[in-house]
Copies of this chain bind each other. A is one copy, B any other.
Amino acid sequence: MGIVFVDIGISLDGFVAGPNARPGNPLGDAGTRSHEWMVPLASFHERNGGTGGERNADDAVLRRFFDRTGAYVMGRRMFDEGEIAWPEEAPFRAPVFVLTHRAREPWRRKGGTTFTFVTGGLDEALRRAGEAAGGKDVLVAGGADVVRQALRAGAVEELNVHVAPLLLGAGVRLFENLSGLGAKLEPGPVQASPRVTHLSFRVRR
């Protein structure tokens, strides 16, 4: 049985997306800069159907992430953006459970990704993702509001944050409206490169 975890990139000032994030510009202005560290990496190329790329410590972090993740839970807005942007061979290659209010038939993509639409809320999505993960871990993929919902529900057992060396100055915060959460974190391994600092925490209550 795997665990439920969060694995997300933020700027040093805590933003998952830059200013003016909206449908069609989901990461906001300059928001892609928080995620640039992944683009040169071999595991990123592979996952997107390419070859080549760097094999370094950042790549090992990303590769481990892909390897451990047996199923995904994501919000409907994140899915809506991706439905347009992801290639036919969507980069998850695993079951993805989309939180939505509107029922829809599962949507099967090449390469192993199936989007299943869950109308029963976060608990149901996590339960079904756990069953589908085949003993691997379940990622609460985002957006930020879904991550916060999972944190508030006490469902997140591990919190990985990839801190990009940027001050975006404004945008969409990851950590907001978590008053009274009372989570205690236990630091795990830290790893840094010139492009990004990987932090990992176990969440205790």
A interface with B by C-beta (< 8 Å): 12-14, 19, 151, 161, 163, 165-167, 169-170, 174-175, 178-187, 189-197, 199, 201
Contact B185 A12 (CB under 8 A): yes
Please pick, from B13, B165, B175, B201, the residue contacting A187 in the complex, using a CB distance under 8 A.
Answer: B165
- Copies of this chain, complex-wide, total 2
- Which residues of the other chain, B, contact A187 by a CB distance below 8 angstroms? 165, 192-197
Query: What is the bound-complex CA distance between A194 and B202, given in angstroms?
Result: 11
The residue on B at minimum CB distance from A194 is: B187
10 extra A-B contacts, CB within 8 A, seeds A167-B175, A187-B195, A189-B192: A12-B161, A12-B199, A14-B175, A151-B167, A165-B201, A166-B183, A167-B183, A187-B197, A190-B190, A190-B191
| Contact status of A166 and B178, CB under 8 A, knowing A12-B161, A190-B192, A201-B12 | no
B197 touches A190 (CB 8 A): yes
* CA A163 to CA B183, docked complex, whole Å: 15
Pick 21 A–B contacts, CB within 8 A, sort by A: A12-B185, A13-B14, A13-B174, A13-B178, A14-B14, A165-B184, A166-B184, A167-B175, A167-B181, A167-B183, A167-B185, A169-B178, A169-B180, A169-B182, A170-B178, A170-B179, A187-B195, A187-B196, A187-B197, A190-B191, A190-B192
Bound state CA distance, A182 and B178, in angstroms?
28
Q: A203 → chain B, closest Cβ, in Å?
A: 9
Q: Which of B166, B175, B190, B194 contacts A13 (CB 8 A)?
A: B175
CB-CB nearest in chain B for A186: B165
A158 to chain B, nearest CB (A): 13
